[in-house]
Chains A and B, each alone.
Chain A
Amino acid sequence: MARAFTPKIVTANDLLVGDVIYLTRSGAWSRLHEEAHPATSEEQARTMLEHAQKQSDRIVGPYLADVEIGDDDRPHPVHFREVFRTRGPSNYPHGKQAQ
């Protein structure tokens, strides 16, 4: 049996501000993790990443990150690093958590 595919989202940093951004269903970028569009197959993930890589004039360093689809049908980060990236640093209320 093929190993189950872990859903993935595409994330990067905004070129001008540096803030964490996520690729949405429409192919645009959002600052909110919950608006990230999860790829549910290897192929879809690859296509989405390639789409992101072509936008290097607006974004920096796109990559795929594992997510879990919650009961709310939204993607949730799996690794703690990705959880921190949805919020900002823990020592000040700066970054996304401030907004």
Chain B
Amino acid sequence: MYVYQEFDEAFVRERVRQFRGQVEKRVDGALSEDEFRPLRLMNGLYLQLHAYMLRIAIPYGSLDSAKMRQLAFLADKWDKGYGHFTTRQNIQFNWPQLTDVPDMLEALADVGMHSIQTSGNCVRNVTADHFAGAAADELEDPRATAELIRQWSTDHPEFQFLPRKFKIAITGSPNDRAVTRAHDIGIRMIENDAGETGFEIIVGGGLGRSPFEGKVLRDFLPKDHLLPYLEAVLQVYNLAGRRDNKFKARIKILLHEGGLEDFRERTEKAFEEIRARFERPAGEMIDAIAKWFEPPVFNNVQTHAFDKALDANPAFRSFVETNTDEHRNPAYAIVTVSLKPIGGTPGDATAQQMRVMADIAEEFGHDEIRVSHEQNLILPHIRKADLPVVYERLREAGLATANAGLISDIIACPGMDYCTLATARSIPIAQQIATRFDELKLEHEIGPLKIKISGCINACGHHHVGHIGILGLDKAGAESYQITLGGDATETFALGERTGPGFGADEIIPAIETIVSTYLDLRDSEEETFLEAFRRVGMTPFKEKLYPEGKSGEARNAA
């Protein structure tokens, strides 16, 4: 795990000290809300529907036990005993009081954490594959590169006031678990014909109001050129990005309006102009950082415990089947710890659960924990021989729900239960879907199916890339839910297609049931997943079942 250097530490402490002064000034009336708002947002503090919310950065989703324990401490001391992990690999606390926030930030600084660049029109927290450093399919651990980007972008003098926020994601694996095609910049580590590793640079992806799939700007960027090239992209965007209309300010709109070729030309030109300023090759810097991300010393001693438990305990077997992935070391497994108990709030963990995760990571997991954008926690390095014990510990803490990648493993943004921007609730919809399919006992028969729910057009719940996406809207003063089908967040990226008119709050669960039963009826075998089936048959069969009164739902529209 990367240890912050003195510079980071001093910088973070100074920011906390400043913020403490700003809060005092706000409370005694010296600062108005208009003056204070940008300052609190710079420190990750939002005002939500019912309370303040503090968003804390978890760079590339990596935590160790000390950090996790500190989050648990914050949850107990200043919140209501839990935290919410988000699709940005961050954590949010929903109930802090204004005057406590400086103390919370101070406590975070004690473990090298902060809330900087979790808000505002700057380069946000860099996200990465949550299996980084562990995945069997990985070319190279992307976290050293992510860390370099973090250092380069933190407090970058030129890029604190971009036209809009800017999100960068990186993966080191051909299987894209970091949704690189839906970020302002997506970076994929690849190998060229000469066997050198470099980057494929994807730009202009994004969800939200106008979803776009990112486009390849450079098919192979040598490692050494990373920083000047990113700087060139940001420079072009900073100058040319629209500032007249917030909804058109993201880089995706610039690309859409001006075209990829034009953007590429400008980027390459800027790159040629500035590259000489970057004296130290990025490859060297990445190598220097990489020593912090050395793989742990694996213990390859196998025992019979794993196989015995597989034979003896069906619940354990089911957990292993759904919640573990192939590790680069065959003696190990990557464990997905689901934060989606049936009927629970997606992404929430109690302070007690955080402590259990910290203990397990420390004792069995080489002190590593990850937050996935799918709002689960990952134990990236668990020796198979230890898995039965780890499983029992997780089970006792309510953390062993065997549903990773299945219908109840739902992404849901906070929606109108917390978020001021929301147009409808998302959490209760997720809870009801999970509960309903649990009653039907169909989850395992349905197989891989990703449902993603957002409470407004901003799409924090990634609904466009859900196999089934649900978008909550306010339709004439009532909650209404629009469905998209066929979205895909991975290397076979696709944006979902709208089924037709939306469904009321009491119609949405039956509608999802209809979609699922339609799939079960038409799949050509048990092996054909929902997404594969959708790609084969298209929208029509689903539409016919969803809108029996008229193929495209005209009747509903007219009603």
- On A, residues with C-beta under 8 Å from B are 13, 15-20, 56-57, 60-61, 78-81, 84-85, 88-92, 94-96
Check if A96 sits within 8 Å of B50, measured CB to CB: yes
Q: In the complex, how many angstroms separate the beta carbon of B202 from the nearest chain A beta carbon?
A: 35
B32 at the interface (CB under 8 A from A): yes
By a CB distance below 8 angstroms, the chain A residues around B47 are 13, 18, 60-61
Among candidates A15, A16, A18, A79, residue contacting B50 with C-beta atoms closer than 8 Å = A18
Expressed in whole angstroms, the Cα–Cα distance for A23 and B166 within the complex equals: 39
Task: Report B414-458 CB contacts with A as 1/0, cut-off 8 Å.
Answer: 001110001001011001000000000000000000000000000
Q: In the complex, how many angstroms separate the beta carbon of B71 from the nearest chain A beta carbon?
A: 18
Check if A15 sits within 8 Å of B51, measured CB to CB: no
By a CB distance below 8 angstroms, the chain B residues around A60 are 33, 47
Known: A15-B26, A16-B97, A84-B417. A91 touches B345 (CB 8 A): yes
Expressed in whole angstroms, the Cα–Cα distance for A85 and B20 within the complex equals: 29
Q: Which residue of B lies closest to A94 (CB)?
A: B80
B300 at the interface (CB under 8 A from A): no
By a CB distance below 8 angstroms, the chain A residues around B80 are 92, 94
Among candidates A19, A57, A78, A90, residue contacting B51 with C-beta atoms closer than 8 Å = A19
Q: List 22 A-B contacts (CB under 8 A).
A: A15-B26, A15-B27, A16-B27, A16-B99, A17-B51, A18-B47, A18-B48, A19-B50, A20-B49, A57-B29, A80-B474, A81-B422, A88-B50, A89-B49, A89-B50, A89-B94, A89-B417, A89-B418, A90-B428, A94-B50, A95-B51, A96-B50
Expressed in whole angstroms, the Cα–Cα distance for A79 and B479 within the complex equals: 10
Expressed in whole angstroms, the Cα–Cα distance for A56 and B25 within the complex equals: 13
Q: In the complex, how many angstroms separate the beta carbon of B158 from the nearest chain A beta carbon?
A: 32
By a CB distance below 8 angstroms, the chain B residues around A85 are 49-50
Expressed in whole angstroms, the Cα–Cα distance for A81 and B477 within the complex equals: 9
Count of A-B contacts judged by CB separation below 8 Å: 72
By a CB distance below 8 angstroms, the chain A residues around B98 are 15-18
Check if A91 sits within 8 Å of B428, measured CB to CB: yes
By a CB distance below 8 angstroms, the chain B residues around A96 are 50
Expressed in whole angstroms, the Cα–Cα distance for A15 and B98 within the complex equals: 7
- Contact residues of A: prevailing secondary structure: loop
Q: Which residue of B lies closest to A58 (CB)?
A: B29
The count of residues in chain B whose C-beta lies closer than 8 Å to any C-beta of chain A is 31
Check if A18 sits within 8 Å of B416, measured CB to CB: no
Q: In the complex, how many angstroms separate the beta carbon of A57 from the nearest chain B beta carbon?
A: 4
By a CB distance below 8 angstroms, the chain A residues around B33 are 56, 60-61
By a CB distance below 8 angstroms, the chain A residues around B212 are none
For A17, A18, A85, which residue has the most chain B Cβ atoms within 10 angstroms? A18
B95 at the interface (CB under 8 A from A): yes
Check if A91 sits within 8 Å of B417, measured CB to CB: yes
Check if A91 sits within 8 Å of B49, measured CB to CB: no
By a CB distance below 8 angstroms, the chain A residues around B97 are 16-18
Expressed in whole angstroms, the Cα–Cα distance for A64 and B477 within the complex equals: 16
Q: Which residue of B lies closest to A15 (CB)?
A: B98
Q: Which residue of B lies closest to A80 (CB)?
A: B479
Check if B416 sits within 8 Å of A81, measured CB to CB: yes
By a CB distance below 8 angstroms, the chain A residues around B427 are 89-91
Check if B431 sits within 8 Å of A20, measured CB to CB: no
Expressed in whole angstroms, the Cα–Cα distance for A94 and B79 within the complex equals: 11
Expressed in whole angstroms, the Cα–Cα distance for A89 and B361 within the complex equals: 32
Expressed in whole angstroms, the Cα–Cα distance for A95 and B52 within the complex equals: 12
By a CB distance below 8 angstroms, the chain A residues around B94 are 89, 94
Q: Which residue of B lies closest to A62 (CB)?
A: B33
By a CB distance below 8 angstroms, the chain A residues around B418 are 89
By a CB distance below 8 angstroms, the chain A residues around B48 are 18
Among candidates B26, B49, B431, residue contacting A84 with C-beta atoms closer than 8 Å = B49
B478 at the interface (CB under 8 A from A): yes
Q: Which residue of B lies closest to A98 (CB)?
A: B80
Q: Which residue of A lies closest to B99 (CB)?
A: A16
By a CB distance below 8 angstroms, the chain A residues around B425 are 84, 90
By a CB distance below 8 angstroms, the chain B residues around A78 are 477
Q: In the complex, how many angstroms separate the beta carbon of A81 from the nearest chain B beta carbon?
A: 6
By a CB distance below 8 angstroms, the chain B residues around A17 are 51, 97-98
Expressed in whole angstroms, the Cα–Cα distance for A91 and B429 within the complex equals: 11
Expressed in whole angstroms, the Cα–Cα distance for A32 and B97 within the complex equals: 19
Q: Which residue of A lies closest to B29 (CB)?
A: A57
Check if A80 sits within 8 Å of B50, measured CB to CB: no
Check if A91 sits within 8 Å of B50, measured CB to CB: no
Expressed in whole angstroms, the Cα–Cα distance for A73 and B480 within the complex equals: 31
